[in-house]
Amino acid sequence: VTADRQGSSAEDVPSLCQTERTRLRRKADRGCYELEAVRAILDEALICHVGFAFEGRPWVMPTTFAHVDGYLYLHGAAANFALRSLAEGAETCVTVTLLDGLVLARSAFHHSMNYRSVMLFGRAEAVVDPDEKTRALLAIVDHMVAGRSADTRHPSEKELRATLVVRLRIDEGSAKRRIGGPVEEPEDMALAHWAGLIPLVLMRGEPQRDGESTGAPSFHAEPEIS
């Protein structure tokens, strides 16, 4: 890989470095390297898909995450083989995808989806400092529901030992998105097919209290758009 690292763009917008791996090969106009765009997608997405090789073969694992101070944090049981592979230094590609709409064109060929995605590359490392580990685990809880960790029992020493946390520096990768309606062949515009956009939204429903739960919800209980 020929690294063409650019810590920031000409306008000094904080950016991910561009390498041969993150150079946008196709539809480059849909992509960017600005950290602000990357962070906004990471903030909204609830899960990521973590790719790595194990015994030379590819694996893709869905998992929750959080990002704090320029690191993406993942966690799992100490025995989780995916997390262990990452902790042992396996290269990873972490992809985060938000679906925004179905794009229905007059031609089958131009059907598409609106989305926002982030792809990050690198090698993760195990987090050993108990304070950083605790911060990461609480951040993962807060990433599910903002402020939630303040209304929980925090991890015990035993729970910390049972949990493997790894972190990936957010420095190599890119963001990509598609917006808008269908793009058509000019000669298709007169065809009598319906065309347009069907928006997609991941909705949070009404919270369902656990039967024996006695606390008051510490978050806004109305359904909200994620």
Q: How far apart are CA 43 and CA 45, in angstroms?
A: 6
- Smallest gap from Cβ 185 to a second copy, in A, equals 9
Residue 125, interface with a second copy (CB under 8 A)? no
Interacting positions 20-59 with a second copy (CB under 8 A): 21, 25-26, 46-47, 49-53, 55, 57-59
Residue 8, interface with a second copy (CB under 8 A)? no
Q: Which of 103, 94, 101, 95 is nearest to 115 (CA)?
A: 101
- According to DSSP, the residues that pair with 126 across neighbouring strands are 166
Cβ distance to a second copy smaller for residue 67 or 135 = 135
Q: Which of 165, 166, 58, 67 is nearest to 118 (CA)?
A: 67
- Smallest gap from Cβ 157 to a second copy, in A, equals 11
CB-based burial, 55-74: b 16+ in 10 Å, e otherwise: eeeeeebebbbbbbeebbbb
Residue 102, interface with a second copy (CB under 8 A)? yes
Interacting positions 130-159 with a second copy (CB under 8 A): 137-138, 140-141, 144-145, 148-149, 151-156, 159
Cβ distance to a second copy smaller for residue 9 or 161 = 161
- Smallest gap from Cβ 34 to a second copy, in A, equals 20
Q: Which of 197, 43, 174 is nearest to 114 (CA)?
A: 197
Give the sign of the dihedral formed by CA 23, CA 27, CA 33, CA 35: negative
Interacting positions 168-207 with a second copy (CB under 8 A): 181-182, 188-207
